[in-house]
Amino acid sequence: MSEIRMALADLTPGRPTLVQTEGTRVVLVRVGDHVHALGDVCAHRGGPLSAGKLSGMRLACPWHGWMYDVRTGQCVFPGRGGAVPSYPVHVEDDEVRVEVS
Ligand code: FES
């Protein structure tokens, strides 16, 4: 397991942010003062979710539009299954910690 640490202030609400740790690409999404962390690689054909668009709690892949719930990583695109990894996030004071396993 590895850990990502960064300042909450470095995450812009509504703008997905790509971070990498030990070869794993993780997209961080800040909604208000909550932060969610998902695998960045789309379950369809590997599109970069960090380049996608956030609508409410849904992050859409920029390649073909599959959508994921940022709280769970579950694909919510109609008629599609699958998921991307969802990682635990802890926010304390102004520090964000993500456990990537
Ligand atoms: S690669 Fe993400 S929707 Fe196709």
Torsion of CA 42, 57, 64, 23, to 10 degrees: -20
DSSP label at 11?
S
CA gap 6, 4 in Å, rounded: 7
Cα 60 to ligand 1 centre (Å): 9
Note whether residue 10 is domain-resident.
yes
Q: Which atom of ligand 1 is nearest to the CA of 49?
A: 2
Question: Which range of residues forms the domain containing residue 12?
Answer: 2-94
Note whether residue 85 is domain-resident.
yes
Instruction: Give the model confidence (pLDDT) of 10-33 as tens digits.
Output: 999 999 999 999 999 999 999 988
Note whether residue 6 is domain-resident.
yes
Instruction: Give the model confidence (pLDDT) of 38-72 as tens digits.
Output: 999 999 999 999 999 999 999 999 999 999 999 99
Measured from CB, residues less than 6 Å from any atom of ligand 1 are 42, 44-47, 61, 63-66
For the domain that residue 73 is a member of, what is the CATH number?
2.102.10.10
CB 36 within 8 A of CB 20: no
Q: Which atom of ligand 1 is nearest to the CA of 65?
A: 3
Instruction: Work out how many domains the chain is built from and give that number.
Output: 1
The answer to whether the pTM exceeds 0.75 is yes
DSSP label at 13?
T
